[in-house]
């Protein structure tokens, strides 16, 4: 892996987890601790992160948590369209899982006022958004807190889903590729996403078209894990063909 590519992946991981240790990064990228320290020094000089003894953390992370704002706010117009389409598949009486993320947050906004819904989520911002709605019961997983995504992750979060059965899961992703499948910046998320999929009768992947053809650091597995993908009209024909080849129904939000 080229140094510039590795630094991009390190930054992506920090934007997901909030912080990381040199030792863990060295093991993850299979390079020396000296190399990782050089990477962190470069990212620090670029004003993207803050180095500390033994690791680094994302710049402005405290402000972000205190204002309860998500890190990834790009392409909100596409995400709002996707969210509106998702809501059309949600019915009164449903028990659904809402994954953490900016697109699923847009779904949560559009659920306000609905009745007889049970929402299970690992996203604290979604829980606070819907927790006071009289027609919605909100259940939150346990787990380790990730500041940039305001979410809970790790094995404890995954264990929460054991033995559960829900009608629908609205799953987020960082990148979708033919070779790597569904990908995420953080390895700790993989067990949680898999547990969500196992608990759901139907899995809807929600991803705007900019995520197509991109691979993040960690792979969850093949595209066959999902039943539907809901995206926007910007999706290219070659990516439509990928979903068709994998017998995944494509739903375009417009």
The domains of the chain are located at: 3-59, 76-253
pTM: 0.86
* Beta-carbon contacts of residue 188 (< 8 Å; ≥ 6 apart): 17, 144, 146, 153, 154
Token pair, residue 97, equals: 């899982």
pLDDT tens series, the chain, 254 aa: 788 989 998 998 888 888 889 998 998 898 999 999 999 999 999 998 899 889 998 888 777 777 777 766 678 899 999 999 999 999 999 999 999 999 999 999 999 999 999 999 999 999 999 999 999 999 999 999 998 889 999 999 999 999 999 999 999 999 998 888 999 988 889 999 999 999 999 999 999 999 999 888 889 999 999 999 999 999 999 999 989 988 899 999 98
Size of the chain, expressed as the number of residues it contains? 254
Contact 124, 150 (CB under 8 A): yes
The pLDDT assigned to 71 comes to: 63
The pLDDT assigned to 126 comes to: 96
Question: Would you give the DSSP letter of residue 131?
Answer: T
Query: In this structure, which topology does domain 76-253 adopt according to CATH?
Result: Rossmann fold (3.40.50)
The pLDDT assigned to 70 comes to: 73
Task: Tell me how far apart the terminal alpha carbons of the chain are, to the nearest angstrom.
Answer: 38
Residue 233 and residue 151: Cα distance in Å, rounded? 29
User: Among candidates 252, 248, 239, which has minimal Cα distance to 178?
Assistant: 239
Q: What secondary structure does DSSP assign to 29-47, as a single string?
A: HTS-HHHHHHHHHHHHHTT
Contact 201, 165 (CB under 8 A): yes
CA angle 175/180/186 to nearest 5° reads 55
Token pair, residue 167, equals: 């009608």
The pLDDT assigned to 92 comes to: 94
3-state DSSP call for residue 230? strand
DSSP tally for the chain: helices H, then strands E = 10, 15
**Architecture of 3-59 per CATH?**
Orthogonal Bundle (1.10)
């Amino acid at each position: 892996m080229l140094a510039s590519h590795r630094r991009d992946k390190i930054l992506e991981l920090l934007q997901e987890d909030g912080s990381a240790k040199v030792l863990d990064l060295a093991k993850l990228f299979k390079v020396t601790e000296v190399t990782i320290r050089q990477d962190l020094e470069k990212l620090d000089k670029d004003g993207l992160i803050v180095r500390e003894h033994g690791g680094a953390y994302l710049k402005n992370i405290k402000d972000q948590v205190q204002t309860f704002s998500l890190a990834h706010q790009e392409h909100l117009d596409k995400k709002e369209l996707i969210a509106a389409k998702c809501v059309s598949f949600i019915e009164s009486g449903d028990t659904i899982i809402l994954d953490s993320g900016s697109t699923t947050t847009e779904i949560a906004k559009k659920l306000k006022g609905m009745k007889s819904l049970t929402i299970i989520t690992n996203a604290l911002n979604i829980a606070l958004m819907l927790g006071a709605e009289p027609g919605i019961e909100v259940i939150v997983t346990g787990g380790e807190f990730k500041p940039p995504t305001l979410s809970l992750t790790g094995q404890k979060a995954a264990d929460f889903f054991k033995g559960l059965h829900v009608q629908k899961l609205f799953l987020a992703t960082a990148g979708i590729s033919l070779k790597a499948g569904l990908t995420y910046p953080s390895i700790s998320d993989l067990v949680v996403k898999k547990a969500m999929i196992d608990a759901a009768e139907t899995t809807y992947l929600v991803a705007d078209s900019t995520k197509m053809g991109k691979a993040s650091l960690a792979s969850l597995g093949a595209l066959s894990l999902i039943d539907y993908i809901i995206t926007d009209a910007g999706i290219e024909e070659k990516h439509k063909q990928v979903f068709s080849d994998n017998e995944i129904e494509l739903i375009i939000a417009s």
